């Protein structure tokens, strides 16, 4: 009784100690899959240098899953024990109909948490609706506080719009908001302490992410721009006292508490601190591929199945169960080589 009370209150806080999943989806390495990330569009109003090429070609509508198909796959996963779904993209808030999808998915019995990752640009007008549609926790990407650097990193973004979006999200009453910052040496590596200060002042969490070699990008060299999490922690030491914590938000972040604040600082370190042993996630790409690992190409074409057998829930569920044997032990990211993964992050969803 006490245990379930503790578990529930940590879940409400968005933080739970790493635990064994009650999901029926288990891979060859005994890892339970209880977390699905869904990219609902490959389109975006930004062109972040680490995520997209400057000149991107987007998928034609016929190759993108419909919102009904996405909702159907989410239902199958939740009925198989998935407890957490993150809606992402591309920029999820530029897809028409996103709010009704959120409502549908958020209402699935058994789903404990619906979350979203957004670049924040549409939040000034949409934050309240996203909250009302059932999203409890929100991740907002913010790599820099400097308007010129923001423009350089996003190519097309307007920092004022995103800052207004963060304010709108704070006013909308999300249980927790976390900032995501991809740190690139030579772009924004000197800003980690200012970003943590920004988060502390607003009672937000923040995660720093090492760039992953997904898709070909132009304009920077991933090897030269690599800035490991340990260096960021050293940079923060002068201004903040960080204490490691075993708390987890169910994703790959390793967290530290900031003394004197509620803020948690997370590090997503695919290169320097491998997190694959505790991986509990799979992803649905915008083109309907079920991807078993962000850093491998093992996948199942769910779009073909959905279109050949529309509405066939038992067949879909069996395909999801069968897919678990394809989940590899660990990712294959290597910043010292040209990308081995040719898909951009926007296809897959971060
Ligand atoms: N457009 C939304 C956003 O930017 O928050 C959601 C999609 S974006 C692909 C999700 C997350 O992936 C963002 O926090 C972004 O910074 C991160 N991301 C994109 N490309 C990345 C890469 N190559 N390596 C590491 N993180 C990346
Ligand atoms: Fe768009 Fe997000 Fe990719 Fe930036 S990281 S280009 S905001 S999808």
The per-residue pLDDT for range 308-337, each reduced to its tens digit, is: 999 999 999 999 999 998 887 776 655 555
Residue 69, pLDDT score: 98
Residue 248, pLDDT score: 73
What is the spatial distance between Cα 141 and Cα 222, in angstroms, rounded to a whole number?
Answer: 19
Residue 312, pLDDT score: 98
Residue 2, pLDDT score: 34
Q: Is 180 in the pocket of ligand 1 (CB under 6 A)?
A: yes
pLDDT band for 6, please (50, 70, 90 cuts).
very low
Residue 104's CB: how many other CB atoms inside 10 A? Answer: 18
Q: Which tokens sit at 202?
A: 């607003």
**Distance of CA 100 from the midpoint of ligand 2 (Å):** 22
Place of tokens 């992402």: 88
**Distance of CA 283 from the midpoint of ligand 1 (Å):** 14
Residue 89, pLDDT score: 95
Higher pLDDT, 237 or 295: 237
Predicted TM-score (pTM) of this structure: 0.89
∠ CA 95-121-165 to the nearest 5 degrees?
125
CA dihedral 41, 297, 117, 9 (to 10 degrees): 140
Tell me the C-alpha to C-alpha distance, in Å, between residue 298 and each of 129, 291, 293, 301.
36, 6, 7, 10
Task: Please check the confidence at residue 21 and state whether its pLDDT lies above 50.
Answer: no
What is the spatial distance between Cα 302 and Cα 284, in angstroms, rounded to a whole number?
Answer: 9
Task: Please check the confidence at residue 158 and state whether its pLDDT lies above 60.
Answer: yes
Higher pLDDT, 275 or 219: 219
Q: Which tokens sit at 142?
A: 């913010």
What are the structural domains, with CATH classification, of the chain?
A: 4-13+22-348 (3.20.20.70)
| Ligand 1 atom with the shortest distance to the CA of 214 | 23
The residues, ordered by sequence, that sit 6+ positions from 5 with a Cβ below 8 Å of its Cβ are none
Of all residues in the chain, the percent with pLDDT exceeding 70 is 85
Mutate to test the pocket of ligand 1, among 44, 95, 141, 272 (most ligand atoms within 8 A of CB): 141
Of all residues in the chain, the percent with pLDDT exceeding 90 is 69
| Contact (CB, 8 A) for 83 and 110 | yes
| Ligand 1 atom with the shortest distance to the CA of 50 | 23
pLDDT band for 261, please (50, 70, 90 cuts).
very high
- Kindly report, residue by residue over 57-82, the tens digit of the pLDDT: 899 999 999 999 999 999 999 999 99
Residue 212, pLDDT score: 85
Show the DSSP H helices in the chain as ranges.
Answer: 2-12, 67-79, 98-106, 123-132, 147-154, 159-172, 192-201, 229-237, 302-308, 313-323, 345-348
Report phi then psi at 242, rounded to 5.
-110, 135
Atom 8 (ligand 2): residue with closest C-alpha?
Answer: 90
- Kindly report, residue by residue over 89-117, the tens digit of the pLDDT: 999 999 999 999 999 999 999 999 999 99
Q: Is 21 in the pocket of ligand 1 (CB under 6 A)?
A: no
What is the spatial distance between Cα 162 and Cα 279, in angstroms, rounded to a whole number?
Answer: 30
Listed range (18-22, 267-271, 298-302) with the worst mean pLDDT: 18-22
Directed axis angle between helix 123-132 and helix 98-106, to 10°? 30
Residue 24, pLDDT score: 79
- Residue of 80, 98, 96, 79 whose CA lies nearest to 88: 98
What is the spatial distance between Cα 203 and Cα 89, in angstroms, rounded to a whole number?
Answer: 26
Residue 12, pLDDT score: 40
- Kindly report, residue by residue over 241-250, the tens digit of the pLDDT: 999 998 876 6
Q: Which residues line ligand 2 (CB under 6 A)?
A: 44, 46-48, 51-52, 89-91, 119, 141, 345-346
Question: Beta partners for 180?
Answer: 141, 207
């Amino acid at each position: 009784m006490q245990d379930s009370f503790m578990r529930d209150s940590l879940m409400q806080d968005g933080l739970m100690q790493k635990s064994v999943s009650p999901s029926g989806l288990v891979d060859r390495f005994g890892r339970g899959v209880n977390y699905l990330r869904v990219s609902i569009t490959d389109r975006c109003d930004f062109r972040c240098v680490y995520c997209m090429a400057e000149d991107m070609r987007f998928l034609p509508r016929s190759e993108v899953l419909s919102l009904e198909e996405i909702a159907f796959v989410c239902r199958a996963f939740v009925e198989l024990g998935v407890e957490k779904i993150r809606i992402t993209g591309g920029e999820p808030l530029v897809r028409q109909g996103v709010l009704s999808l959120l409502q549908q998915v958020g209402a699935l019995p058994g789903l404990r948490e619906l979350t979203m990752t957004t670049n924040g640009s549409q939040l000034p007008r949409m934050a309240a609706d996203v909250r009302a549609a059932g999203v409890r926790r929100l991740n907002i990407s913010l790599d820099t506080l400097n308007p010129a650097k923001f423009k350089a990193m996003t190519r097309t973004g307007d920092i004022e719009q995103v800052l207004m979006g963060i304010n709108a999200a704070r006013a909308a009453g999300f249980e927790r908001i976390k900032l995501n910052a991809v740190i690139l040496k030579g772009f924004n590596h000197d800003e980690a302490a200012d970003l943590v200060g920004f988060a502390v002042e607003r009672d937000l969490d923040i995660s720093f992410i090492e760039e992953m070699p997904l898709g070909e990008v132009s304009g920077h060299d991933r090897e030269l721009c690599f800035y490991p999490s340990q260096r960021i922690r050293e940079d923060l030491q002068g201004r903040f006292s960080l204490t490691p914590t075993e708390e987890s938000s169910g994703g790959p972040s390793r967290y530290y508490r900031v003394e004197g604040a509620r803020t948690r600082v997370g590090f997503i370190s695919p290169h320097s601190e491998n997190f694959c042993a505790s991986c509990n996630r799979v992803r649905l790409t915008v083109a309907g591929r079920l991807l078993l690992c962000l850093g491998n190409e093992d996948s199942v074409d769910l779009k073909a199945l959905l279109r050949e057998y529309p509405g066939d829930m038992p067949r879909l569920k069996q395909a999801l169960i069968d897919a678990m044997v394809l989940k590899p032990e660990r990712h294959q990211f290597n910043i010292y080589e040209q990308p081995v993964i040719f898909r951009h992050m926007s296809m897959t969803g971060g």
